[in-house]
Structures are given as C-alpha cells and as structure tokens.
Amino acid sequence: MMNVPILSCYGAVAAFFTHRWYQIDTILGMAMTLRLTAEQDRALILLARAQNCSKQEAAIRAIVSAAARTLVDDQITQLAQHIIPTQAALSARIRRARNENQQ
C-alpha cells in the first residue's frame, strides 16, 4: 500500500478544480464556432449594429427568430418573446398576415 498523505491528495484535487474554476461557472450552455464568409460576417456586423447589440447576440436573435417563424413550438415561441424585445409585435404581424392570406 502506498503511503500518500491525505492532504496531498486533497491538494491535488483542489488544485485541479481551482485551475478549472472558469469552466464551472461560465460555460453553462453549448459552445460552438460559427464560421462565416467575409460577406456573412459583414451581414452579421450590420445586423448587430442595427439591433445595437453584439454579433453573438445578433446571431442568437436571428436563430431564435427564424426558429419561431418556421417551427410551431411553444418553447421556442416563449424563448423568442423573452430574447427578442420586438418578438411579440412581430408574431402578431405574422399571424395577421397568415390569416389574411388564408382568406
């Protein structure tokens, strides 16, 4: 049996978690790299400027907005209303337009 002091074992564990503290509280969702062409990046920059937000926030809003328009899903609708300030008005306009087109 190895004679390893208990404190040194705990020290190693503490050092491991102390070194990785940033991963525990900052990475709460899934991460991904978004590769864009120069034209797509310019479009994202313009969208972010128009919405007065970061490129990341503009991309998130675009994804949620497209999902809310495309899919019939209550969770996505609630997410869109929470993330995108103008989503409720936009949803109402889309519903009115769909109703007008169906008549």
User: pLDDT truncated to tens, each residue of the chain (103 aa)?
Assistant: 455 444 444 455 455 555 555 555 555 567 789 999 999 999 999 999 998 999 999 999 999 888 887 877 778 777 777 777 666 676 777 778 888 877 7
CA atoms 71, 75, 78, 84: torsion sign: negative
Cα-based angle 93, 96, 99 (whole degrees, multiple of 5): 150
Number of C-beta neighbours around residue 22 at 10 A: 8
Query: C-alpha 45: how far from its chain's center?
Result: 17
Q: In this structure, what is the dihedral angle of CA atoms 87, 34, 75, 83, given to the nearest 10 degrees?
A: -30
